[in-house]
Amino acid sequence: MKRKRNKAENTIDKSYKCVLYPNKEQISLIEKTFGCCRYVYNRFLDERISAYRDNGITVSYSDQCRQLPVLKADPETAWLKEVDSTALQYSVRILQDSFDNFFRHPGKTGYPKFKSKRSHRQSYHSTCTNGNILVIDGKHIRLPKLGVVRCRIPMKVEGRILGAAVTRDDTGKYAVVLHCEVPMPAPLPDTGRSVGVDLGIRTLAVTSDGKEYCNNRTYAKNLKKLARAQKKLSRKTKGSHNREKQRIKVAKIHQKIHDQRLDAVHKMTHELVREYDVISIEDLDTREMIKCRFAKDISDASWREIRRQLTYKSEWAGRQLIVVDRWYPSSQTCSVCGHVSESVKDLSVRQWTCPECGSLHDRDVNAARNILREGLRKAG
């Protein structure tokens, strides 16, 4: 049950991720908050399951919210008062959202599961009320219950702060994500140019202008290093300090792969939005495509992330993003005469000659040109 808020006109929601450097007391309180939020979530999930199994009734979100003050007043669970109250309330909201997604999207979203304390990824969300979340300067931030925490802020935080999510990743590093409501940025000046983008594996993307964006294949490049680290991890004694240190090394390699991949996607999408007024892409069903033998390569190419970034960056920059139907034969259609050649379905065919007009085509560039043409036709 997502809470509705009065969003100001001509504003957007923007997040800023900052690395935290808490002291020992603050780390202890952060870990305690993780545990309290996990306890509230698991307790109320068990309550809902038991109530429906035993009595056939459904416990509502508001009923469970009213139980939080009762739990704090109970001597056995009075330790819940030591952490931020809005973080506990948000845990109940997350539980309700999980049930809503499960019933609204059957088959796509699974039934809510209990949270495990053994998970190395932990987080909690605090809501900003009465200025309890405040960026003091470029090196410090004030958070509920934690007080002033030293941090590294990569860019200036603008707008009204709505909340903050404190996280701990697999490597044991802490971070805070500030959710802000900022004014809508001014649209970029018109360039009068349109482009079609064909996403691929051999190259990250090819445009209708013939420009190629290199696929760094970050996973493949780090695969040997990752395999050696995981092999060492498998030989460590479970529960030992050496195993934990090796686990962190493996997690750092995964983090490096993620960061390199995300950096390449950000640079590409930023350049496309800056240089073109209209961007046309294909609607790829990555959920089904990763079931084939190219699953690792497709995941490494981050097609879903490319579309996500183009969607919000186009909106912010005042650009038009057009999504072409996934069944449109962009690779098989001649971009000159429109003839459809069934023989081009074979992915090994990188260049082909149209049997009708005799035009020589590069597979990816030809597909990008067809995607652009179909996108402009669809836009009217």
The residues annotated with a catalytic role in the active site are: 198, 282, 364
CA dist., res. 300 & res. 220, Å (int):
8
Sign of CA dihedral 314, 316, 317, 320: positive
Pair 177, 162: CB distance under 8 Å: no
Query: DSSP strand E in 115-247: where?
Result: 122-127, 134-137, 140-143, 147-152, 160-168, 174-183, 194-199, 203-207, 212-214
CA angle 89, 91, 96 (to 5 degrees): 100
Query: Is residue 142 helix, strand or coil?
Result: strand
Residue in this structure with the two tokens 């998970």, named with its chain if needed: 119
Q: How many CA atoms, within 13 angstroms, populate the side-chain half-sphere of residue 280?
A: 24
How far does CA 34 lie from the centroid of its chain?
21
